[in-house]
Amino acid sequence: MTNQFGGSWTDQKMAIVVAYAKAYLTIMKEQRWAKTIYFDGFAGSGSIKDNSSLRNNNCLLDSNAEMSTAEDIKKGTALRILDISEPKPFDLYYFVEKNESYQQQLLHQIGRRYVDRKCHVVKGDCNKKLNDLAGFLKQNNEFRALCFIDPYGMSVKWSSIEALRGLGVDLWILVPTGVSANRVLVNDGNIPDVWLNSLEIFLGLKRDDIKRKFYKEVIQHNLFGDDLTLVEKERDTVNKLGKLYAERLQTVFNFVSESFVLRNSMNSIMYHFMMGTNNPVALKIANDVIKPKYKL
């Protein structure tokens, strides 16, 4: 079994992370005192099934239409990072995957192809492991971490991000502005409590503050001349969510990169991809990676 994703946005995010990792390792190679960790909070199985070829196949009644060919399977981010040998590999790799089947597949692929890499492949929750990473870095000052967080929906708690404050971490995070957060911001403002709770945990903000940022009161007159106060959702909430998350990251990190906007085949925004860091050189590298080749 492989992870199933599709579209150029998947390739774009992987290309950004790999390009940044190579530049990061080039700099860290000169810091002989430092050791490097690559942390992936949603590592997957190591392979991705590209469904684009299936979608373009008009033989819908073909019983073999769901069968994958070698060309349909490509390496995920975890294996692409492990492939980096120049300028140097990471000193330690820590892969987290909640799905046991995916975790076992990734463990198998690493054991077969990357025996020279020092890897930990654990079944667990990204939030707990981010807190564990923070504790490790506080106890081991020589380590610097590059983190890649590609979450399922709004599953990353703001408290887990806050745990990284003041540490030697460069954090790339895919923020689900269009595919999750915007969808729970219903048009009339009557957001169910369970969704509001999720937003509070995801953004680290109180529900009243969230509502003030994304809703406004509008006065309308009815046929009898009475004033009615209605609640309306603000326009362009997807980009406003991206801007808000970047602002929240700036309360944890000294610098936040520009966002790379990932869109689906209908040109709708799905994610804002950004990096938080405490290093101005890292900020420049991140923006240089995004700007010339990938920014929409």
Q: Which residues of 153-162 are buried (b: 16+ CB within 10 A; e: fewer)?
A: ebbbbbebbe
Judged by DSSP in three states, 288 sits in: helix
Q: How many CB atoms lie within 10 A of CB 98?
A: 17
How far from the centroid of its chain's Cα atoms is residue 171's Cα? 9
Q: Measured between alpha carbons, how far is 84 from 92 in angstroms, rounded to an integer?
A: 13
Place of tokens 């392979």: 47
User: 292 exposed, middle or buried (CB, 10 Å; 0-12, 13-18, 19+)?
Assistant: exposed
Q: SS in 3 state form for 167-227?
A: CCEEEEEEECHHHHHHHHCCCCCCCCHHHHHHHHHHHCCCHHHHHHHHEEEEEEECCCCCE
pLDDT at 231: 80
Closest CA to 172 of 56, 92, 289: 289
pLDDT at 51: 56
Q: Describe the strand order of the beta sheet including 73-75 as a list of residue ranges.
A: 3-5, 47-50, 73-75
pLDDT at 19: 96
Go through the chain and tell me how many residues it has.
Answer: 296
Beta strand pairing call for 227-233 and 255-256: unpaired
Q: Measured between alpha carbons, how far is 53 from 25 in angstroms, rounded to an integer?
A: 34
Superfamily of domain 3-184+235-290 in CATH is Vaccinia Virus protein VP39 (3.40.50.150)
Q: How far apart, in Å, are the Cα atoms of 21 and each of 18, 24, 32, 136, 145?
A: 5, 5, 17, 21, 11
Closest CA to 106 of 119, 92, 91, 89: 119
Q: Measured between alpha carbons, how far is 90 from 88 in angstroms, rounded to an integer?
A: 7
Q: Whole-prediction pTM value? A: 0.88
How far from the centroid of its chain's Cα atoms is residue 37's Cα? 18
End-to-end CA distance of the chain: 32
Q: How far apart, in Å, are the Cα atoms of 234 and each of 158, 185, 211, 212, 282?
A: 23, 10, 10, 10, 34
State which H helix or E strand residue 261 sits in: strand 260-263
Give me the tens of pLDDT residue by residue for the chain, a chain 296 residues long.
555 444 588 899 999 999 999 999 999 999 999 999 999 999 999 998 765 443 344 433 333 434 344 557 789 999 999 999 999 999 999 999 999 999 999 999 999 999 999 999 999 999 999 999 999 999 999 999 999 999 999 999 999 999 999 999 999 999 999 999 999 999 999 999 999 999 999 999 999 999 999 998 776 766 666 666 678 889 999 999 999 999 999 999 999 999 999 998 888 999 999 999 999 999 999 999 998 655 54
